[in-house]
Amino acid sequence: MVTNGIIIVLAYLLGSIPSGLIIGKVFHGVDIREHGSGNLGGTNSFRVLGKKAGLVVTIADILKGTIAVLLPFIFGSEDMHKLIPGIFAVIGHMYPIFAGFKGGKAVATSGGVLLGYAFPMFIIMLIVFFVCLYITKYVSLSSMLAAIVAVIYSLIVWDLALIIVVSIMSTFVIYRHRANIKRIINKTEPKVKWI
């Protein structure tokens, strides 16, 4: 029988899979940690590896969060809230054991957690993200705004577990973007050119 502790460890290990590093090395012969922002997430993958690879990395990072919230169901753990392994997948994404504990900024994997738990919320976040991205061309600002909207949404639907987890994930997202915030203020933050 798989215990809740094992599910948490599996969720962390799942989140630790460095999609950007794998795609970069296997298909492009590039370690994206040595290029662009040095980040393992989707944004740097788009920047360094191109649109197709960036999209694959982003989808893979989203799925890590989605699969994590399904682990209690997969292993028949009725007493574990499925958002709990979701949080550990996000932690794994940010601090991956398979990549020296230097990972992404929690955006895609957090989105994946919401995709698996609150689909309408995920869709609203996507809309907010892309509208903001279209207007500002800043991925970082769009990610943070989507995180803030997620907190507001969770408060409106008043799901206590969702409020707690989304608040934690949104804090992760904003904290991981603190350097981006400084660059936005200084007007040195790179803008995307594909939208």
**How far, in Å, CA of 135 to CA of 126, rounded?**
14
* Cα–Cα distance, 64 to 130 (Å, whole number): 21
Q: Give the type of residue at 40.
A: L
**Integer angstrom CA distances of residue 155 from 143, 148, 158, 171:** 19, 11, 5, 15
CB burial of residue 194 (10 Å; 0-12, 13-18, 19+): exposed
pLDDT at residue 178, rounded to an integer: 92
Residue pLDDT tens, the chain, 195 long: 678 899 999 999 999 999 999 998 998 888 898 888 878 888 889 888 888 988 999 999 999 999 999 999 998 888 899 999 999 999 999 999 998 898 889 899 999 999 999 999 999 999 999 999 999 999 999 999 999 999 999 999 999 999 999 999 999 999 999 999 999 999 899 888 766
- What's the confidence (pLDDT) of residue 37? 80
**Rounded to whole angstroms, how far apart are CA atoms 192 and 195?**
7
